[in-house]
A and B are shown apart, each in its own frame.
Chain A
Amino acid sequence: MTHLEQLEAESIHIIREVAAEFENPVMLYSVGKDSAVMLHLARKAFYPARPPFPLMHVDTTWKFREMIEFRDRIVDEYGFDLLIHVNQEGVKQGIDPFVHGSALHTDVMKTEGLKQALDKYKFDAAFGGARRDEEKSRAKERIFSFRTASHRWDPKNQRPELWNIYNARVQPGESIRAFPLSNWTELDVWQYIHLENIPIVPLYLAKERPVVERDGMLILVDDDRLKLRPGEKVQTKSVRFRTLGCYPLTGAVESTAATLPEIIQEMLLTRTSERQGRLIDHDQSGSMEKKKQEGYF
């Protein structure tokens, strides 16, 4: 078997284990490329049936518009149940990443929103598309990662994980985050998308787009909530996104790579890691570890 076939089989195994061992699992769907792969694998795992769990999108109300269009199209096409959760308290408080910064926005709209949604539906397992190669604190995370009833992750008290036998036991209120793509790298994900022809949000491909340069990042002018600061002007540049999230927090890269092979080519020839485009990791050293302990995916 090739490396992609082995990774695919391992992920399908994990997805089936979760479906079999938990009463109420959910697949977190972030609309990004990793989610696209995870969704594809879930369809494979249960074919010809549909996956026996719903999808859930924790919407911060600041996602790129093209992500939302793509999400609704995919869900419709494959006939998934989609739950959309927005932290209404955050909306009421008027949380705005432009005003309040990335840390507070992420905490309220993403981390709190996710916890609210998990509590509301009483999910005992939630799939996430995170990969261990993304960030240092993820390298030690388990495939079945235990969370306390208050959604906390305790990195020093993780269950050892041996062979492909997963400990799925939780008390009421506790839960597991399951990461079927743990062993994939960014390159694996792109190669697989290419090989399997998996649909992705067009924002990953380069196109002329209106952007503003701010704090060293290129921010897409996605709607009129982006207010220009003195001296800033909207430029049209050929850009693409290596990672997708909230548009005010996600920097574009200048690129002409308009096809999948060109993206992969560009990736192999560059030496900048994919999370650099995300503001949240740079807040402070060890910030991802801190967020994860608090319940961030």
Chain B
Amino acid sequence: MAHQSELIAEDIQAYLKSQEQKGLLRFITCGSVDDGKSTLIGRLLWDSKMIFEDQLAALSADSKRVGTQGENIDYALLLDGLQAEREQGITIDVAYRYFSTDKRKFIVADTPGHEQYTRNMVTGASTAQVAVILVDARKGLMTQTRRHSYLVSLVGIRRVVLAVNKMDLVDYSADRFEAICKEYQLFASGLGFKEITAIPISALEGDNVLHSSERTPWYDGPALLEHLETVQVEDSAASRPFRLPVQWVNRPDLDFRGFCGTIVSGTIRPGDAIVVSSSGQTSRVARIVTMGGDLPQAVAGQAVTLTLTDEIDISRGDLLAAPEQRPAQSDQLEAHLAWLHEQPLAPGRSYLLKTAAGSAPAQVRQVKHKIDVNTLQQQSAETLELNEVGLCQIAVSKSIAFDPYGDNEATGSFILIDRLSNATVAAGMIDRALSGKPSEGQRRLPLDKADRAALKGQQPKIVWFSAPLEETISELPQRLESRLHSLGRHTCLLDGETLRATLGGTLGDEAHLQRVAEVALLMIEAGLIVLVVATAPSAWVEQLAEDRCLAGELLNIKRGKAAVIDGATVVLSDQTASQAEQVEWLVENLPF
């Protein structure tokens, strides 16, 4: 039990000493709505003294106000942190809870069972060592149970607790419990779990949660908390090949050059050889430096600073590794992606791929198949939508060092970031390197403007300022370009007057406009956003758009009384005095 030790009152020094050796367990709880997950976590927190009196007073008041348990405490309210969620009665996001007993400190990733299940579960599971999967004893295995189990296995969790809850509602039936266990064992046999521990519990009544219950005499295994206190998770990370992604090069003066990072696997001692993955250069460890003094040895999990015996070129993003067991190296990867964003995957688009060590632009070439997370069936797919999981072929703009995710989660994982919105859009788990460059068949031939624009992460566009720009807004095109540039867009500004000299100054107006248009069309072919400043009749610009551009590709900017957008025609209000406001209005309202 938690902090019940008599030592606390009698001999605090001795108690503190005994606490120094405590370990840490991170676990995730998965369950459907009404499986009693919140009640279970609430009970664990309460019984380990992590709910304090004032919180309880607030909780009790809240329970009466919006609770669903009558006069009883509604534990769900304790867990649903954000006001918006409490009002809607749903848990939207992953929340982290903390409690500890005399044996271990626990970090619980609490994930909602329904909404955004894949995104939240993958997020919560990515740092967990054990998964507690809740099942309602009355209902048995549900679609959700299978989904949760698959996602947990996808993220590499190998130890699972099947908590069969609400045993009080099936009269603590051993037969019912056995039947559910058997069915689960059968289903989970393909998921690669090392250990499945089934425990009959009642979160509401407290049976087998903290202590073994007398109401399940037929069950001789541990109570849930006992199991969590003792489950072996001290994994093999320390005995696997040495890996350290360099985070920071420490150079306080010319005499010291240290490489800072967290050892993600293996063990290192002064004198050990290391190789720098990107360059292949090797050296030996001179010192393992920490503020508390140099270490004779450091293992997986420790954040250290290494100095080497040779002056070799190492920078952030390099992976230091054991030379006899080097990581794989490739710019062509096959990986499972879990898509986390409302905007679906766009194959060919340039995303930023970020690993523990560094980041590089990358494209998803192809979705090989997606996986129905409810049935585990593979289905063909062109793209991945929010909460979908698929196996994908990815091309990175430079070769990266990695290990397959199954061998090393820290060097086999990555996230994809959208380069325009900066949102984290996917979680990736590398399966293997694809041999060589993609074949001709896989490469798109010939490339078109969509391919070129995808690399820049934008839609090509011509923004044509066709009306004369009076003094007060004469800088508008430059300002707009500068603003788009700051948003990461690739642009070019064409000034009709300046171009006259180079494109042929003797031509008549219409022939000159035609040449300016051809240049602009070439530039959108290259994937750019082109801003054209050239006075032209509206009908002529509209004809150009219709004849030579895709819908919405050419925007004709005019002046008028009020700001409106009508299809491809954009009217700037001449009432708006400030050019800065005009720019913001354009950026907000046009699809850049």
A102-159 CB contacts (< 8 Å) to partner B: 132-133, 136-140, 155-156, 158-159
Chain A contacts for B303, CB-based, 8 A: 8-10, 12-13, 16, 45
Interface centre among A12, A44, A187, A188 (most CB of B within 10 A): A12
Q: A47-B289, A47-B291, A264-B12 are in contact. Are A167 and B417 (CB under 8 A)?
A: yes
Chain B contacts for A13, CB-based, 8 A: 247, 261-262, 303
B63-94 CB contacts (< 8 Å) to partner A: 78-84, 86, 92-94
Query: Do residues A139 and B413 form an inter-chain contact, with CB atoms below 8 A?
Result: no
Q: Which range holds the interface residue count of chain A?
A: 35 or more
Query: Do residues A269 and B8 form an inter-chain contact, with CB atoms below 8 A?
Result: yes
- In angstroms, Cα B305 to Cα A182, docked, is 23
Stretch of A84-92, A230-238, A270-278 contacting B (4+ beta carbons < 8 Å): A270-278
Taking the closest CB of chain B, its distance from the CB of A265, in whole angstroms, is: 4
Query: Do residues B23 and A2 form an inter-chain contact, with CB atoms below 8 A?
Result: yes
Q: Does A225 contact B (CB under 8 A)?
A: no
B231-270 CB contacts (< 8 Å) to partner A: 247-248, 250-252, 256, 258, 260-262
Q: Does B491 contact A (CB under 8 A)?
A: no
- In angstroms, Cα B112 to Cα A270, docked, is 32
- In angstroms, Cα B250 to Cα A16, docked, is 10
A243-290 CB contacts (< 8 Å) to partner B: 261-262, 264-265, 268-273, 276, 285-286, 289-290
Query: Do residues B305 and A3 form an inter-chain contact, with CB atoms below 8 A?
Result: no
Query: Do residues B23 and A3 form an inter-chain contact, with CB atoms below 8 A?
Result: yes
Contact partner, A269, options B9, B50, B100, B299, Cβ 8 Å: B9
Q: Does A162 contact B (CB under 8 A)?
A: yes
Taking the closest CB of chain B, its distance from the CB of A141, in whole angstroms, is: 9
Query: Do residues B84 and A155 form an inter-chain contact, with CB atoms below 8 A?
Result: yes
Q: A9-B303, A139-B96, A158-B93 are in contact. Are A167 and B354 (CB under 8 A)?
A: yes
Q: A16-B303, A139-B81, A160-B123 are in contact. Are A48 and B289 (CB under 8 A)?
A: yes
Q: Does B135 contact A (CB under 8 A)?
A: no
Stretch of B13-21, B371-379, B439-447, B521-529 contacting A (4+ beta carbons < 8 Å): B13-21
- In angstroms, Cα B126 to Cα A163, docked, is 5
Query: Do residues B248 and A3 form an inter-chain contact, with CB atoms below 8 A?
Result: no
Query: Do residues B122 and A19 form an inter-chain contact, with CB atoms below 8 A?
Result: no
- In angstroms, Cα B79 to Cα A161, docked, is 19
Query: Do residues A20 and B20 form an inter-chain contact, with CB atoms below 8 A?
Result: no
Query: Do residues B82 and A289 form an inter-chain contact, with CB atoms below 8 A?
Result: yes
- In angstroms, Cα B101 to Cα A207, docked, is 31
Closest to A12 in B: B303
Q: Which range holds the interface residue count of chain B?
A: 35 or more
Query: Do residues B53 and A272 form an inter-chain contact, with CB atoms below 8 A?
Result: yes
Query: Do residues A187 and B100 form an inter-chain contact, with CB atoms below 8 A?
Result: yes
**A interface SS class:** helix
Query: Do residues A163 and B413 form an inter-chain contact, with CB atoms below 8 A?
Result: yes
Q: Does A226 contact B (CB under 8 A)?
A: no
Query: Do residues B24 and A7 form an inter-chain contact, with CB atoms below 8 A?
Result: yes
Q: A163-B409, A169-B422 are in contact. Are A156 and B92 (CB under 8 A)?
A: yes
Query: Do residues A139 and B95 form an inter-chain contact, with CB atoms below 8 A?
Result: yes
Q: Does A183 contact B (CB under 8 A)?
A: yes
Query: Do residues B427 and A160 form an inter-chain contact, with CB atoms below 8 A?
Result: yes
Taking the closest CB of chain B, its distance from the CB of A194, in whole angstroms, is: 6
Taking the closest CB of chain B, its distance from the CB of A134, in whole angstroms, is: 10
Q: A48-B252, A165-B355 are in contact. Are A276 and B92 (CB under 8 A)?
A: no
- In angstroms, Cα B19 to Cα A207, docked, is 27
Taking the closest CB of chain A, its distance from the CB of B316, in whole angstroms, is: 5
Contact partner, A156, options B50, B84, B355, Cβ 8 Å: B84
Query: Do residues A160 and B340 form an inter-chain contact, with CB atoms below 8 A?
Result: yes
Chain A contacts for B289, CB-based, 8 A: 47-48
- In angstroms, Cα B127 to Cα A160, docked, is 12
Q: A20-B247, A160-B119 are in contact. Are A285 and B83 (CB under 8 A)?
A: yes
- In angstroms, Cα B301 to Cα A199, docked, is 27
20 contacts between A and B (CB under 8 A): A5-B302, A9-B262, A12-B303, A16-B247, A45-B260, A46-B260, A47-B290, A136-B81, A159-B423, A162-B127, A164-B262, A165-B355, A167-B424, A169-B352, A185-B50, A185-B105, A264-B16, A265-B15, A273-B53, A290-B83
Q: A1-B24, A9-B302 are in contact. List 12 more A-B contacts (CB 8 A).
A: A1-B302, A16-B261, A133-B50, A165-B415, A169-B352, A172-B486, A195-B20, A265-B12, A269-B8, A271-B53, A285-B83, A289-B81
B interface vs A, CB < 8 Å? Answer: 3, 8-9, 12-13, 15-16, 19-24, 49-50, 52-55, 58, 62, 78-84, 86, 92-98, 100, 104-105, 107, 119-120, 122-123, 126-127, 247-248, 250-252, 256, 258, 260-262, 289-292, 299, 301-303, 305, 316, 340, 352, 354-356, 409-410, 413-415, 417, 422-424, 427, 486-488
Task: List the 6 shortest-distance A-B pairs measured between CB atoms, nearest first.
Answer: A273-B52, A49-B252, A286-B83, A136-B81, A3-B24, A12-B303
